[in-house]
């Protein structure tokens, strides 16, 4: 029994340390002035090498979407030293920000490694709203949303990250607050028009209306509508 207690003690202490953490689900406006991006970024010439010089060489760019990803990265100067990869994969949620969990244990937050997983499956239920199906500005907007998650994760220590994960999975209101305020991160970083165009496209485009009708309850609970986003800026 004594040996069992010795073995279990670290797990009990870690669990207790996680449970006592106070984690705010909401995202907040950064304390710097964002770059003023144009309302429409499509149909322009971009020099990818120049964008990489701005965002740093530690950023993975998804094949076929390099420019959209680089623009989204450029809106987050606070992440320049952070290693982030964007990975196309044939499964999963349409887009999902995650962390290499082992990197949480490495001292120094800039040693953490994050991934944004992008579903690129052919003929899936999500096909109308996958990255390849979106207009260019909407691509930038949703990638900026996912990078907003990275900003949030990067501020959490290992215990707070554990508590956030538990509450996100178990508490619908916590999750809704987190996701809906993450929709404001592109707004706060100068890409409000782009996240608006994403929200509009996935609800109002003829290719997405059938999916939206099926998932309206979920989408409107956890993510801001285009009408709601309009309250934050006078986009068309």
Q: What is the pLDDT of residues 174-189, one digit of tens each?
A: 999 999 999 999 999 9
Specify the pLDDT at position 101.
75
The pTM for the full model equals 0.91
Q: What is the mean pLDDT of residues 53-81?
A: 96
Instruction: Tell me the C-alpha distance between 162 and 120, whole Å.
Output: 29
Contact 92, 119 (CB under 8 A): yes
> Predicted confidence band at 99 (pLDDT cuts at 50, 70, 90)?
confident
Instruction: Determine the 3-state secondary structure of 96 from DSSP.
Output: strand
Q: What is the mean pLDDT of residues 9-19?
A: 57
How far from 19 is each of 91, 109, 149, 188, 233, CA to CA, in Å?
32, 22, 21, 31, 38
Specify the pLDDT at position 236.
53
pLDDT digits (tens, 9 = 90+) for 181-224: 999 999 999 999 999 999 999 999 999 999 999 999 999 999 99
Residues 6+ apart with CB under 8 A from 31: none
Between these two residues, 230 and 109, which has the higher pLDDT value?
Answer: 230
Per-domain residue ranges of the chain: 42-230
Specify the pLDDT at position 107.
74
């Amino acid at each position: 029994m004594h040996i069992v207690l010795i073995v279990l003690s670290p797990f009990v202490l870690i669990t207790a340390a996680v449970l006592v953490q106070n984690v705010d689900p909401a995202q907040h406006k950064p304390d710097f002035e964002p770059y003023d991006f144009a309302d429409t970024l499509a149909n322009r010439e971009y020099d990818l090498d120049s964008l990489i010089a701005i965002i740093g060489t530690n950023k993975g760019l998804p094949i076929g979407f390099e420019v959209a990803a680089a623009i989204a990265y450029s809106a987050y100067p606070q992440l320049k030293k952070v290693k982030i990869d964007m990975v196309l994969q044939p499964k999963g949620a349409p887009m999902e920000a995650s962390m290499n969990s082992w990197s949480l244990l490495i001292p120094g937050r800039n040693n953490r490694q994050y991934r944004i997983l992008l579903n690129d499956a052919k003929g899936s239920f999500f096909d109308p709203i996958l990255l390849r199906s979106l207009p260019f500005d909407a691509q930038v907007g949703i990638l900026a949303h996912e990078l907003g998650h990275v900003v949030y994760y990067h501020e959490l220590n290992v215990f707070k990250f554990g508590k956030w994960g538990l509450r996100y999975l178990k508490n619908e209101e916590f999750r809704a607050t987190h996701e809906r305020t993450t929709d404001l991160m592109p707004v706060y970083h100068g890409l409000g028009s782009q996240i608006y165009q994403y929200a509009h496209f996935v609800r109002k485009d003829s290719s997405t209306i059938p999916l939206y009708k099926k998932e309206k309850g979920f989408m409107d609970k956890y993510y801001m509508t285009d009408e709601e986003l309009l309250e934050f800026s006078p986009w068309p």
